[in-house]
Structure 1
Amino acid sequence: MIPYSTFTFFGILIILLIPTVIMGFLGKKLANYTTFLSFVFLLIVFSSSKQQALYLVAYILWVSILIKCYSAYRKKANHSFVYFLCVFLSILPLIIVKLSPFFESTTLVGFLGISYLTFKTTQVIVEIRDKSLKEIRMIDFLRFLLFFPTISSGPIDRFRRFQQDYTKGLTRTEYQEYFQIGVHKIFIGFLYKYIIGYLINKYFLETPFVLEHTFVSNLAYMYAYSLYLFFDFAGYSAFAIGVSYLVGIKTPENFNMPFISKNIKDFWNRWHMSLSFWFRDYVYMRIVFFLTKKKTIKSRRTISYIGYFSLFLLMGAWHGIQLNYLLYGLYQAILMCSFDWFEQYNKKRKIWKNNKLTHVLSIIITFHFICFGFLIFSGHLVN
């Protein structure tokens, strides 16, 4: 059963959340019950596929041993080779899944949510290496890794932030506020995913008109798909965030009105924020720091552009190794580098002044660049 996909899932969810809500209104937090819920929902989600369940168990054992061994090693030494080996081993299952189409197998070690569990595991390894995490108990790691509201598609939380929320007690007043936010988010999720998203999909994307591949039909598909992608995924994220609030965890936001972005950098600070911030912190910044430290390239701008291309090509490959995803990553990298160049150029020449008119134009222009990117992403042009 895919989370948040059926009314049956929501019915089970409501029933199982009743003890949490009751105790929350009494000013008590059932932290251990939340851990129990994660276990229950794992059983529910993976009950229909024994193969995926076995892969999940194997994955949990794999990353648990990895985290335990690296944490013990890091207390004694800090060789870069061991660190990079552990990072590679943490993403190895995901690499196999992404490459599996070449071996005519789409289920090889794959299971629902493997990408987001991989992000969490890799993040913990990096923070152990940086000594941001000096000590980590396996129960805390697994609780963070398998947190049930976000297990299949995020948002991607950070361990220390999650742990702070998990151990924090809530007063009756605080929980009432959490409850109101959580319920509001869930209703937003229904509006986005099951009303607006459904209508866009049914009356635009599934119509014969968009399959004609004329200029007008491709343009209509581009706008419809971009809006559908937002409302479908933002709706799912709203469900995950809302349920998190109901159990006392402030899972970070994933979207912040991305279609009013004034430039492409602003867009990536608003779209799928937990993912884009993860890639920024653990890929882009690491590459820039490494190249700057090595001093093999003197130009900071060149280093930054190498970072952007590495970041977005990796992000594209994460979605899949199909041509449309790789082209999407390349397209985003070109946009980021082009805007950065223009931004630096404009500081000297002042050809684009900041006023109300240019602000509106910036939003309109950025919106169309974004939508064309999603058209590439959809595969509509290359399939």
Structure 2
Amino acid sequence: MQLFVDTGFFVYAALLSLPAILLGYFEKPIRLYGFAVSLLFVFLAMKDSKTALVFLVIFLIWQLLEAKIYLWLRQKQGRKAGTYWLFMGLALLPLLLNKYGIAQHSQFVFFAFLGISYMEFKALQVIIQIYDGQIKQIDSFSYIYMMIFFPVLTSGPIDRSERFKKDVYRTIPRAEYLELVGKGLWKMSLGLVYKLVISAIFYQAILLLGKGNGSLAFFVNMYAYGFYLFFDFAGYSLMAVAMSYFFGIQSPDNFNKPFISKDMKEFWDRWHISLSHWFRDFVFSRITMDIMKSGKVRNKYVIASTAFIINMLIMGLWHGVESHYIIYGLYHGVLLAGTELYQKKLPWHKKYRKNPAYQGLSWFVTFNLVMFGLLIFSGNLSKFI
């Protein structure tokens, strides 16, 4: 069973959401029921591969134990950089084995189960926030529940552990819960239209008009693919957030009208928000602080530009080691660095930034830069070069 794809999933999800809604209506805790439903969907999604289920169990035990051990050491030793990086490596090891393990070119792949990449973000976030002293206690139930919470299992949005735990143990007042369900029904309806109708139209356009390597095919692959990717992924995200609401978890929104952005920084504040904000908080800001603390670079624009490029390169590599993902990451890193320099150093941006004509031009340039970037991401740019 594929989550948010197969008809069977939607039937099961609709039926299994009803008891959760009743529990919420009567102001009863939903967490145990939600945990059981998540276990069921994990089993249904992976039942054809016993190896995947075994690796998932190993992964969950591994991440929980190493987080608890690191928390204990952090409280005993304080902030030790060596210990921190050791446990960051241990947390990242399953994903590295999955993507780059020695068995990659055989039928056997380490830690090959649904959602490992998104689970890794949550595991690493916990280690980072333990190091920062923001997490004082690891609650085993909410930790495992966060990892396997079925609406966001395969493609996010990426939640934060402390925020998730608050929702898990909070009993929502009836009026507030019913409002949440209403919002969820709207997001679910909109998500279905996005994913099953609008994205399908753009996908058919690509199939019909995107063949070959002429000018028409180039623009179809550039614009139709960009819209297809957005409506497909945003549609999934809306449905995932909606389903989360039914189970009393207010998962963060993942998209906020990204194609109205007037610069690249605004775009990344609207596109795949949970991912971009994760990298902003846990990669970009730390690279910036480390460079500043080193004292080797004092120019703040050089520092910001370096951090943007490294940050986006890592994001590209997270998608994969194929050349188009690496180029995509570097492309956006350079664009963000250029945006920072342009907005802070060139006087006409400050002078005209509120001018409607200037804003329209900024939108047009940003929109086309974004669409070209998505063409790079698709891996199809090479056939037009």
Q: CA deviation at 1:350?
A: 5.2
Q: Which runs of 5+ in 1 are unaligned?
A: none
1:35 partner SS: helix
Identical columns (%): 36
Counterpart in 1 of 2:145? Answer: 143
Structure 1 runs (4+) greater than 3 angstroms displaced = 100-103, 105-108, 347-353
Q: CA deviation at 1:48?
A: 1.9
Give the TM-score of the pair, scaled to structure 1. Answer: 0.95
CA change 1:124–1:353 in 2 (3 A) is closer
CA contact (8 A) 2:103 2:110 kept: no
2:381 partner SS: coil
CA contact (8 A) 2:129 2:135 kept: yes
Query: Counterpart amino acid of 1:259?
Result: F
Q: CA deviation at 1:346?
A: 2.5
1:75 partner SS: helix
Counterpart in 2 of 1:286? Answer: 286
Q: In 2, distance between residues paired with 1:350 and 1:181? A: 39
Query: Counterpart amino acid of 2:131?
Result: R
Once structures 1 and 2 are overlaid, which stretch shifts more, 103-112 or 63-72? 103-112
CA contact (8 A) 2:343 2:350 kept: no
Counterpart in 1 of 2:29? Answer: 29
Q: CA deviation at 1:102?
A: 9.1
CA contact (8 A) 2:29 2:169 kept: no
CA contact (8 A) 2:94 2:111 kept: yes
Counterpart in 1 of 2:195? Answer: 193
RMSD of Structure 2 on Structure 1 (CA): 1.7
CA change 1:348–1:221 in 2 (3 A) is closer
CA change 1:8–1:181 in 2 (3 A) is same
Q: In 2, distance between residues paired with 1:115 and 1:377? A: 18
Counterpart in 2 of 1:46? Answer: 46
Query: Counterpart amino acid of 2:213?
Result: H
CA contact (8 A) 2:2 2:45 kept: yes
Counterpart in 2 of 1:256? Answer: 256
- Whether 1:116 and 2:118 are equivalent positions in the alignment is yes
- Whether 1:236 and 2:243 are equivalent positions in the alignment is no
CA change 1:378–1:100 in 2 (3 A) is farther
Q: In 1, distance between residues paired with 2:285 and 2:132? A: 14
Q: CA deviation at 1:353?
A: 4.2
Q: In 2, distance between residues paired with 1:58 and 1:103? A: 19
Q: In 2, distance between residues paired with 1:300 and 1:245? A: 42
Query: Counterpart amino acid of 1:111?
Result: F
Once structures 1 and 2 are overlaid, which stretch shifts more, 29-38 or 336-345? 29-38
Count of residue pairs the alignment pairs up = 381
1:253 partner SS: coil
Q: Which runs of 5+ in 2 are unaligned?
A: none
Counterpart in 1 of 2:357? Answer: 357
Q: In 1, distance between residues paired with 2:181 and 2:219? A: 41
Query: Counterpart amino acid of 2:80?
Result: H
Counterpart in 2 of 1:338? Answer: 338
Q: In 2, distance between residues paired with 1:43 and 1:166? A: 22
Over residues 283-317 of structure 1, what are the superposed CA-to-partner deviations in whole Å (9 max), with x where a residue is unaligned? 00011111111212111211111111110100000
Query: Counterpart amino acid of 1:285?
Result: S
Over residues 57-113 of structure 1, what are the superposed CA-to-partner deviations in whole Å (9 max), with x where a residue is unaligned? 121122122112111111101310110111112112212323259942473322110
CA contact (8 A) 2:195 2:231 kept: yes
Q: In 2, distance between residues paired with 1:353 and 1:256? A: 21
Give the TM-score of the pair, scaled to structure 2. Answer: 0.95
